[in-house]
Chains A and B, each alone.
Chain A
Amino acid sequence: MKILLVEDDPELRRNIRQYLSLEGHMVEAASDFAGAIAKTDEHAYECVLVDITIPGGSGLDLVKKIKKDQPTTGVIIISAKNSPDDKVSGLDLGADDYIAKPFHLSELNARVKSLSRRMNQSGSAEVEAGELRVNTDSRTVAVNDRVLSLTPKEYELLLYFIHNKNRVISKESIAERLWGDDISLNGSYDFIYSHVKNLRKKLGEAGCSEYVQAIYGTGYRFSVS
């Protein structure tokens, strides 16, 4: 997938590029408004990640322009102004998603994937990973045509793993993915452990026991090889 990242902070830009490139995405970057306009005029991107506060203009104007010129391009707003008004006006302008700083790269990656799936209307609602076949319409997971009985949270967790396959994902990132901002006030992330344990058990019963690995007790990695 061809992605344009518009972000003025060089370090953050490098980290996002590095993380998304691991997936095989082609990530180009622009650091300001003019650079972003030049890139979008020249190339067609499947997905554009736009920081609202960029030098030389407003990210919101950029969103408006991209959505007008290339309606099939998915746009995700990255904003340091985590305010509901900002989010609403961004989405009103046609942005497809909104993510507030600071965010987990694994979360951003998952958002990019699900956006690309939504944008790609001709594509199927199936996501495959090893033996697993995930149907994102019916929200079911099957192994060799046998449907696994997962709770809604386990389904979300598995999909998050698949979206970030071969990456180490932190517990905080999982907690925020499954429970949003609400749970982070909770302090301890031990509850993630039992959720992952249950998921691993169900995958194990279906013969996919090796898919989720615990990494030194602080994170997890999903891989199918």
Chain B
Amino acid sequence: MKLLTRTTLVYVTITIAVFALGSWLFYSFLNDLVIEEATELIEIKKDIVLDALESDSVVRESLLAEDVHIIKGSVEEYITDTLMYDSLMEEPVPFRVIHFPFDKDGIEYHVMISRPLLESEDLQEGMISSFLISLGILIVMVVLFMWIASRRVWKPFFDTLAELKRFAPGKKNALSLPETRVKEFRELNIAIDNMAANIEASFHALKSFSENAAHEIQTPLAVIQSTTEVLLQDESLTEEQHNKIAHLSSTTARLSNIVSTLLLLTRIENKQFQQETPIDLSEVVNGKLELFRELFEQKSISLNNSITPNIKVKLHRVLAEILVSNLIVNALRHTNEGGYAVVVLNNSEFTVKNSGTPLKGDATRIFERFYKEDQSELSTGLGLSLVKMAAEASGLQISYKFENGNHVFSLNF
């Protein structure tokens, strides 16, 4: 729910409640006033009637009009409200009635004087309609005001929000939050600025740490690598010594691979491979197919491909090569001898399919770093996570499924 809708709703609810309470209070106050007034009038009339009853009959006749009734009988004085049929209105109408005793010539009389009350129903109706009209006007005004005001009042907030959405650490365009005179927004902007500076600083620290760590490892690796190579040239080595050194050399190669792949992953994460213009993916795929074709042949894997020429995709060349070559090498590794692999590139996707048996482990973990189906494998377990990272950094979708006896990797663009 939008903030504006929410505040408006709260506002409207409160307004309605206040109006309801107000009109009830106003109504009961007015009602009391009307009754009090009627009572006062009726008591004045009582005095007049009493005076008249004492006096001569002519006056009495004129006074004892419709609203005065006299019957024989004794009564204690009391005031009551009652409904009486009104001949003019042709409906029962509330009256304020005073009953009191009158004693003349030893005979007791029961006198009733009635007086119509202002009809409370009419009062209610009038009040409700006038209150509803003003309530309606108020609500319309509130909503209108809120919409207009919120655009202005919340503008700095929305500007800040737009800036934040644009913000990514490590990018050249730093955060520039709008100036505002509102204290809360100013504080918010200061807090965000500080936070962004912290994020930026940690980001750079982490980035330079991973890069420096990787670089610092490269030279010692180069020393080990070159030393094993120099040692291998020694003619006097026994077979055992030779094999140990060769093993050292291949282990160093693996280690060096892990390091450079991790460095590459860091670089991709740091968005160092951004591409603005599309590249020819068909060319990349054909190049990699050419590079690996002989290896497929050697393993007796039939390699089929259908590459639509001139497929342009917005993708950095380094990432394109990583994606294509890792997927192809993955197929090469995991296809059994005599199996088949199919590579397809068209307008919407790049697919690498190869025959094989279903995964033993969890297929959803296939793109995780260092995840291996079989821990004894010589692979680094980084190839597919590199693929996923490269795809995501380029805004492309990579997916895996096992279908009809085939492992299928699809890259959608």
Contact = CB atoms under 8 A, between A and B. Distances in A.
B and A form one assembly: yes
Interface in A1-59: 9, 11-12, 15-16, 18-19, 22, 53
Given A179-B291, A216-B246, A22 B224 contact: no
Nearest to A188: B378
Nearest to A11: B223
A84 interface: yes
A172 interface: yes
B97 interface: no
A182 B273 CA distance: 18
8 nearest A-B residue pairs (beta carbon): A187-B378, A218-B246, A15-B226, A102-B222, A80-B218, A102-B221, A182-B325, A101-B218
Nearest to B263: A82
B249 to A, nearest CB: 5
Given A11-B227, A103-B226, A187-B377, 20 more contacts: A19-B233, A100-B260, A102-B219, A102-B222, A102-B225, A102-B226, A103-B222, A105-B225, A105-B226, A105-B229, A168-B233, A179-B291, A182-B288, A185-B380, A185-B383, A187-B380, A191-B298, A195-B298, A219-B232, A219-B246
Contacts of B221: 101-102
8 contacts: A9-B223, A19-B229, A80-B216, A101-B218, A105-B230, A184-B257, A185-B326, A218-B243
A108 B358 CA distance: 43
Contacts of A153: 294
A15 B377 contact: no
Interface string A163-182: 00001101111001001111
B47 interface: no
A15 B329 contact: no
Interface of B: 211, 215-216, 218-219, 221-230, 232-233, 239, 242-243, 246-247, 249-250, 252-254, 256-257, 260-261, 263, 267, 272-273, 288, 291-292, 294-295, 298-299, 318, 321, 325-326, 329, 332-333, 377-380, 382-383
A216 B232 CA distance: 11
Contact of B229 (A15, A101, A181): A15
Nearest to B332: A186
A184 to B, nearest CB: 5
Contact of A12 (B222, B252, B292, B380): B222
B230 A19 contact: yes
Contacts of B272: 83, 85
A133 interface: no
Given A181-B260, A186-B379, A218-B246, A170 B291 contact: no
B333 A187 contact: yes
B370 to A, nearest CB: 13
Contacts of B291: 179-180, 182
B329 A182 contact: yes
Contacts of B383: 185
Nearest to B382: A185
A84 B242 CA distance: 36
Contacts of B298: 191, 194-195
A60 B272 CA distance: 21
A191 B230 CA distance: 24
Interface residues of A, number: 50
Interface in A131-189: 151, 153, 167-168, 170-173, 176, 179-189
A171 B229 contact: no
B233 A22 contact: yes
Contacts, number: 138
A215 interface: yes
Given A101-B221, A172-B253, A183-B329, A15 B230 contact: yes
Contacts of B247: 218
A216 B239 contact: yes
B131 to A, nearest CB: 74
A118 interface: no
Contacts of B226: 12, 15-16, 19, 102-103, 105
B329 A186 contact: yes
A218 B242 contact: yes
A104 interface: yes
A68 interface: no
Nearest to B267: A83
Contacts of B260: 82, 100, 181
Contacts of A183: 292, 295, 329
B394 to A, nearest CB: 15
A184 B326 CA distance: 10
A73 interface: no
A105 B225 CA distance: 8
Contacts of A216: 239, 242-243, 246
B223 A170 contact: no
Contacts of B318: 84
Contacts of A201: none
B329 A185 contact: yes
A189 B379 CA distance: 11
Contacts of B379: 185-187
B242 A191 contact: no
A80 to B, nearest CB: 4
A141 to B, nearest CB: 17
